[in-house]
Each structure stands twice: as structure tokens, then as C-alpha cells.
Amino acid sequence: MTMPKNIYKALEGIVGPENISDDPAVLDSYRYSLAHTAIHLGPFFDTFTPRGSAVLLPGSTEEVQAIVKLCNKYRIKFKASSTFWSAQGYPSEDNTIQLDMRRMDQILEIDEKNMFAVIEPGVIGATLQAEAMKVGLNTHIPGAGCSCSTLAGATSYFGSGPSNLYGGWHYDNLLGVEWVMPTGEILRTGSLGAGCGWFCGEGPGPSMKGVARGFIGSKGAMGVYTKCAIKLFAWPGPTTLPVEGIVPAYKTSLPDNFKAYTVAFPSWKSWADAVYTIWDTGVGYIAHRQYSMFGRDLKFAMIKILTDPTKTLGDLEEILDDPEVQKITEESKRDFQIVLAGMTKRDIEWQDKALDEILSRTGGWKVEAMNEPEINKWMLLYLIRLGHKNLNLVFGGSYDGCFGLLGSADFGTSHVEEAAEFKKRWEKRGAVVEAGGDCMMGPIGGQGGGGTCLWENFTCFDPYDRDSIEGTLEFFDACTELGLERGWGVGMEKWNSQARGPDGRIAPKEERDRIHLSAPQPDIFRYQHKIRKAFNPNDLGDAYYETLDDS
């Protein structure tokens, strides 16, 4: 259905004719393919998120507020997105207005002394990091990579990634927020609301940050966040990353106070022990089980390809035949990557020694092949900038994580082999890439530890191949079944299925209710329903803010 002319005109009056379109081709460029799984949902062959009724590019908070007020007046649904990483940023219902926030892309302030930045939605991890480094600071880049909006990760979604260890998750890092609420009112959270600046995320009374964000964020379903302040942390490196090498094998040489290692362990028990000790000792700057996303069998061969600009995926089989590669692959079966950053010479020396001691106590080792200079410098740059994140999609164009073992280090490591073996059996059926079963990727958590080891078992497939997609979906169903049977809970392959159905639209209420009622604490969703009713009385957001209305 096309938007009534008077409403279109009114919206055009807000943003200007050059910043609104209802041309079908433009609208179709704002639809997400559910063949890509849309992050833990599908995949569903040849299915797209619904076409919006218009796309708007607001340029200021005032424009956003005017749009939201107009939407309330005419009861029009709206969905804001900044960098469109997944289906959650796109409409899930027909006749929704899509707000593309890319014009609001300013870094408004970097407060060097108080270590935070004030940013608009269009600021991505890479640009914020580049600017922060100029003043000796760094930003946490969530797992989606540096192409993604920092504000979106901080206000509206998970915000977890490799630098959790030192930089903290974004639910911790979020300070003041400027929030155009679903009614069009503007709320400034924390110290900002008291006129005291951006430095604190909480203000008087119950946590508005909690309402706006909580643990996982409202995923664009509860108004629009137009500015936020985000905590930065120390960067003891150069003001600009010195990058060398030929595309795509870029690498960096940093001073001696930086070290990057791939460490591996004889058992998962020792792996977990090492992680706990790392948390206890406080060593490390970035820690992630990164390259296992390619699969236990393929990871080192892929690293060989990615660090040599003359190589392509076409060389993979030949590289895999190399006995030396096979040896290293076996050696790094239970691994993770860690970057140490010393604030002083003594600090890096101590961290290096501490890591050696941790390895010695747990029986772990440094994978020497990953210390080869060309690989090591590539790994260092990769982990600091997280600019190659879409290697997730390198094989066939699509991936999704299954299982999603979120918990302590012991939790993930206790189940990884079983989950890997299960996947390996399914890999043999041909629908997904044969990668060795264990494709568990994720951060090893934050300093202090506890409950923050999140792994997803990467599953790569071809979004243009119906058999591949249907086979993957079948596998994901089997993962869910196994996860429930084994008490691991519903895997991340289904995390969003309560919100969005296989046709790309919102799941029917009965289905959502069924899922929420089967959750350990359905009351949570009843409370959220009350919050939503209070904050979003005209119901202009989508089901990603999850509610249960069974009264």
C-alpha cells in the first residue's frame, strides 16, 4: 500500500524532498534477505523483510522528533536503523516507515579527560576508534565489527565483542542517551537529564537506561536514540594505526608494548582454567576465539589464504593437503587469540610473563605458526580494528550461529565437543560447509569474568541454493531440539523467531505468546508489556521489544 499523499507531503516537509523516497526500487534496497538468516532467525529461501512505505533520512533530533510525532498522529509504524547489520533493523510489518539514520553521523565530542565520546547513530566503530586513538583512547568494537553503528550496539543490541575483556560490554559502556521516545517526547537519561553532561548513564530514580536498553536492547522497537555517550578506554599505541601490505592481507606493526598470540590447550578443561586465570590476573586487552569461525579443520588454511594476496578460496584444498598445515590445524584445535597491551614497558613484560605462567600451569602453548611475522601482524590488526568481520560470510555468502553457549567458561567448554560432533554429522549431509564441526566463535569475556563467555557455532551456507538453505534450516531445528533436550536452552539460531516469522513479517501473537509462556520467567514479558504500554501507547514499534499480554 502506498502512503497517503498528505502524509508523504508532511514527512517531506520535515526532512526535505531529497531525504525521502517511496520509489519501489529505493524501498527494495531497504529489505533484508532472510536467506541470510537475518541473525538467528531463518534462513528462509527467497524471502525478504517487508517493503516499507517510505524511507526517510533525518538529519537532526528535531527532525526525528517531528517524524515520530507525525507517526503518532497518523498511527504509522516506524523503524530506525543506522548501519543495517541484520533483519532487526528493518520493518517487520507492512506500511512501516524506515528511518535511515546515516545522515546523523557526527562524533560530537571526545572527552579525553573523562574518557568518553558523544556520538550520533551513523558513527561506526572504525571511525570512532580512529578518532579516539588520536588522543590515546580506544572504543570497544562489538562482534558485528567496526562497520556497525556504535550507538546501535550500545543502545539497541548486544554490544559484545573481542574487547569485552578490557573495554567492557556496551551495556556497561553506555552513558547518557538522548532518546526520542515512541511518543515523540525527548528523554535524556542519566546525568544528561539533570543538565550535568554525558558522563553517567544513570540518574535519579529507577534506571531509565535499563528501560531503554537492559541487557540486550530494544532493537529499534522503542523509539529512536539520537545521541549517546560511550565510555572509551586507554589506547597505549600510536595515534594512527600504521597499516602495510596488499589488499586484503593488511597488517600492522605496533610498538613492543603490544603482543598478539594464539594460544591452545590440551583439553577444554585447561582452556577454561586459563580463561579464569586470565580474568583473575587482569592480563589482556582483547581476547576472542576468532578464527575458529572458519571451522576447526579450515582455520589455519584460511589464515594462509587471507595473509597472502595471491591466494583465493580456490587454493583451499591444496593448502589443506599440506602436512604442515594439518599439523598446525591439529595443534590449534582448542585455541583462542589474545592481545596484550602494556601501558608501560614493565606492564607488558609482566603481562607476557603472567600469560606464560598461565600457559605453563594449564599445559597450554602458543601456536608458533601464528607468531610468524606476516601472520602475527595481520592478526594484530584484525583483532584491534575488527575490520574483516564479514569473513563470516566468505564461503558462500551466508552464515548463522547455532547453539550460542552463553555462560561461564566451564559451560561452553563442557558442551563444545558434543555440539561440534553433532554439527559435524550434519555437515556430512551437504547443506552446510564441512568445516570440522567446531566453529565456535566468540569472546572469552570481561575482566572479572563470570557469565560472559558467548560462543556461537558458525554455520556457513549458500543463500542462493535452496537445498543449502532448507538443509540449514533443518539443521537449526535439530540444534534447537538438541539444546532443549540437553538443557542448554533454545540456541541462538532461534533467538528472534518469536519476533519475526518465516515470511519476514512479525510472528503471530499466538506464536509469540506461546514462546514467552514457555520461558523460565514469563512475568518478565508481562512487565515489559506494561512498560511498552506506558512508553509506547500507540504501539508503533515492532515485536523485538518482547511482551506478553495474556491478561
Partner 1 sequence: MALEDFAAEMDRCSQCSYCKWIPFDHIKSWRYAKNCPSVSYNNFNSYSARGRYAVARSLLKGQSGYSDKVRDIVYKCMTCGSCDVSCKVCRFNLEPLDMVRELKFKLVEEGHVLDEHQTIVESLDKEHNTMLQPKTGRGEWAEGLDVPRLFSKEAEIVFHAGCRFSYDRDLWNSVRSAVTILKNAGMDVGIMGEREMCCGGRIYSMGYRNEFVRFAESNIKAWAKAGVRMVVTSCADGYHAFKRLYPRLGFQVQVMHVVELLNHLINEGRLVLRSEIPMSVTYHDPCHLGRQGEPYVPWDGVEKKIKSQIIVYEPKRPRYNGAWGIYDQPREILKKIPGLQLLEMERAREYSWCCGAGGGVREAYPEFSMWTAAERIAEAKATGAEALVTACSWCERNFMDAIIAQRDAMKVYDIVELVQEAI
Binding to partner 1, residues 278-297 (CB under 8 A): none
Max Cα–Cα distance, the chain, nearest Å: 72
Tell me the number of residues near partner 1 by CB under 8 A: 80
Which position among 3, 11, 14, 32 is part of the footprint of partner 1 (CB under 8 A)? 32
Q: Which helix (H) or strand (E) holds 64?
A: helix 61-74
> Torsions phi, psi of 244, nearest 5?
-130, 175
What string marks each residue from 232 to 251 as x (binds partner 1 by CB under 8 A) or -? Answer: --------xx-x--xxx-x-
Nearer to partner 1, 205 or 314 (CB): 314
Contact status, residue 400 vs residue 471, Cβ threshold 8 Å: no
Residue 311 Cβ, how far from partner 1 at the closest point, in Å?
9
Residue where the block lists cell 582452556: 271
Picking from 184, 186, 193, the residue whose alpha carbon sits closest to that of residue 229 is 193
Q: Which is nearer to partner 1, 100 or 273 (CB)?
A: 100
Give residues with Cβ within 8 angstroms of 398, minimum separation 6.
Answer: 35, 36, 37, 43, 460, 461, 462, 463
Supply the minimum distance, in Å, between the C-beta of residue 142 and partner 1: 14
Q: Among 62-70, 118-126, 213-221, 450-458, which window interacts with partner 1 (CB under 8 A)?
A: 118-126
Q: Binding to partner 1 by residue 551, rule CB under 8 A?
A: no
What are the backbone angles phi and psi of residue 106, rounded to the nearest 5°?
-90, 140
Q: Is 94 in the site for partner 1 (CB under 8 A)?
A: no
Is the CB of 131 or the CB of 347 nearer to partner 1? 131
Interaction of residue 254 with partner 1, rule CB under 8 A:
no
Alpha helix ranges (H) inside 232-315: 268-281, 299-306
Neighbours of 504 (CB within 10 A): 23
Binding positions for partner 1, 310-329, rule CB under 8 A: 312-317
- Of positions 61, 72, 95, 127, contacts partner 1 by CB under 8 A: 127
Task: Give me the 396-425 binding string for partner 1, x by CB under 8 A, dash otherwise.
Answer: xxx---------------------------
131 binds partner 1 (CB under 8 A): yes
Count of H helices and E strands in the chain? 18, 20
Could you tell me the smallest distance in angstroms from the CB atom of residue 434 to partner 1?
4
Check residue 202 for interaction with partner 1 (CB under 8 A): no
DSSP 22: -
Site residues for partner 1, 432-451, by CB under 8 A, read 432-435
Distance CA 11, CA 18 (A): 11
- Strand (E) positions, 420-538? 440-443, 453-461
Cell readout for 374 is 606476516
Q: Taking CB under 8 A as the criterion, which residues in 35-54 touch partner 1?
A: 35-36, 46
Task: Pick the closer one to partner 1 by CB: 100 or 456.
Answer: 100
